[in-house]
């Protein structure tokens, strides 16, 4: 159970930084094989990770569900057997007043957690460390400009993951850096011609 608890909590934390306000629903789907696991604990871990970024009081496995209920957030769970290309898949959907955000995560092998979908983008993200999420136009030179900007500020890229729209002209890029990216550097990257937006967070 431990790898799924870790994955779902990280997915909750990531969702809390993508979805800003007006939370109405949290939907968790378990797709594929989860042999003999009590998935209610995995659901609680996702809610705990999500709410920990929003509330002042400590959120734990005991009070996470009740706190969500007090905030008027509807929680739903579902299961299905077909997971496509993955042995198992957790899909965490957050519905807010403004939009709907979808994350999907899986476990490779015994305990390698990966986030494999962010909304309509497919990619593979190790959910840990200092991360930057960049939306950009999919044209030659865009990644090079970002790397050069970070290099001027001595910010090292430890890992880069790219996801592409199947039917569009945009990319989503996940950067893992050795150190946080300061706000002024984020602003400079967002000012690049082919960059639409950049969000940073820590998992």
pTM of the model: 0.85
176 Rama class: left (phi>0) / alpha (psi -120 to 50) / beta = beta
User: Strand 74-80 and strand 23-32: pairing?
Assistant: parallel
Note whether 115 and 11 are within 8 A (CB). yes
Confirm if 17 and 11 have CB atoms less than 8 A apart.
Answer: no
Provide the 3-class DSSP secondary structure of residue 118. Answer: strand
Q: Is 7:113 a contact under the CB 8 Å cutoff?
A: yes
Cα–Cα distance, 59 to 57 (Å, whole number): 6
The answer to whether residues 106 and 86 touch, using CB atoms and an 8 Å cutoff, is: yes
The helix (run of H) or strand (run of E) holding residue 68 is helix 64-70
Per-residue pLDDT of the chain (203 residues; tens, 9 = 90+): 999 999 999 999 999 888 877 899 999 999 998 878 889 999 999 999 999 877 777 888 889 999 999 999 999 999 988 767 888 999 999 999 988 999 999 999 889 999 999 888 888 888 999 999 898 888 888 888 899 999 999 999 999 888 776 666 788 888 999 999 999 999 999 999 999 999 888 88
Cα 52 to Cα 13, 40, 109, 117, 182, distances in angstroms = 8, 18, 29, 22, 23
- Residue 152 has phi, psi (to 5 degrees) of -65, -30
């Amino acid at each position: 159970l431990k790898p799924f608890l870790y994955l779902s909590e990280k997915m909750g934390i990531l969702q809390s930084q993508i979805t800003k306000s007006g939370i109405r629903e949290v939907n968790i789907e378990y797709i594929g094989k989860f042999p003999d696991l009590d998935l209610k604990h995995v659901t609680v871990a996702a809610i705990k990770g999500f709410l920990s970024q929003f509330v002042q009081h400590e959120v734990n496995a005991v009070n996470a569900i009740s706190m969500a209920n007090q905030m008027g957030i509807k929680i739903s769970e579902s299961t299905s057997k077909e997971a496509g290309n993955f042995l198992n898949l957790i899909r965490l959907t957050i519905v807010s007043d403004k939009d709907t955000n979808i994350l999907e995560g899986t476990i490779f092998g015994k305990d390698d957690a990966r986030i494999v979908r962010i909304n309509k983008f497919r990619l593979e993200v190790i959910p840990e460390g200092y991360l930057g999420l960049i939306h950009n136009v999919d044209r030659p030179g865009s990644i090079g400009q970002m790397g050069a900007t970070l290099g001027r500020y001595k910010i090292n890229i430890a890992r880069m993951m790219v996801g592409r729209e199947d039917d569009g002209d945009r990319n989503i890029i996940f950067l893992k850096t050795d150190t946080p990216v300061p706000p002024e550097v984020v602003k400079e990257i967002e000012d690049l011609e082919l960059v639409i937006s950049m969000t940073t967070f820590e998992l």
